[in-house]
Amino acid sequence: MKTVYLPRCRQSYREILALQQEEFRKRIESRKNGSELPEDIIFFVEHRPVYTLGRHGKPSHLLLPEDMLLKRGIEFVETDRGGDITYHGPGQLTVYPIIDMLRHSLGVKDYVNLLEEAVIRTIADFGIHGERIEGRTGVWIGKDTPEERKISAIGVRCSRHVTMHGLALNVGSDISLFGGIVPCGLSQGVTSISKETGREVMIEEAKERLEKHLTDLLL
C-alpha cells in the first residue's frame, strides 16, 4: 500500500479530485478488463477553503451567498461522494483512500466502520474519547449529551469494489468556517483535536498517527 502526503502548501480541492478520479479510473478499467488492480493508494491532504456538497446533499445547507464565498476566497464544489455538505480547509486533515475492497474482504459498511475506527484510535492517542452514532457516519464526542459534537466527517464513493473520497479530521483550533454551512445536514456542533485538548496540534502530528492506524486496519 502506498501513502502520499501532499506538501504542506494547501491544495486545491478540484485538483486533488481530478487526481483521485484518475487513480479511481485506472482501477475501474483494470477490474473491467479482468487484470490485476494497481496497489492501493492513500492521499493525505490539507485543502484551501472549500465547501463540498455530496450527491444527496441539500444546497440550502450552504448558508453563505455566492458573493460572500468569493470575498472570502472559498470554493464551492458539487461532488459524487455520499453525504451532505461539509467544509475542508486549513487545519483539517483530509484523507482519500483509493483501495480495492475485495483485496481486504470489505463491504461498504465494513469500510466506513474501518475509517471511523481509524479516527477513533487516532483521537484516543490525544486523550479524546470518540464514538459512532447509529444511523450517522463520522465520529462524535459527547454522544447523547447537550454538548454532542462532531470531530470527523466521512463521505465515500464505491464502484466495482473500488473506493474514493474518504474522511476529514478536524485538527486545528480554527473551525469558524463551519459556521457557513449546516455541517452534514445536522445542527450539532463541530470540534477539533486542538479544541478538545486545549493545545494547538499540528497537521503532521495527527497525520502520523492516523496513517499508522489506517494502514494497520487495512493490513
> Catalytic residue positions?
184
Cα separations (Å) of 178 from 1, 38, 118? Answer: 33, 36, 23
Three-state secondary structure call for residue 152: strand
Among the residues of 36-107, which ranges form H helices? 66-72
- How far is the C-alpha of 81 from the C-alpha of 97, rounded, in Å? 13
Q: Which residues contact 204 (CB under 8 A, 6 or more apart)?
A: 8
Dihedral angle of Cα 144, 92, 157, 107, to the nearest 10 degrees: -60
* Per-position DSSP letters for 124-138, written without gaps between them: HTTT---B--TT--S
Give φ, ψ of 187 to 5 degrees: -95, -5
Mapped onto helix, strand or coil, the DSSP state of residue 22 is: helix
Distance of CA 46 to the CA centre of its chain: 11
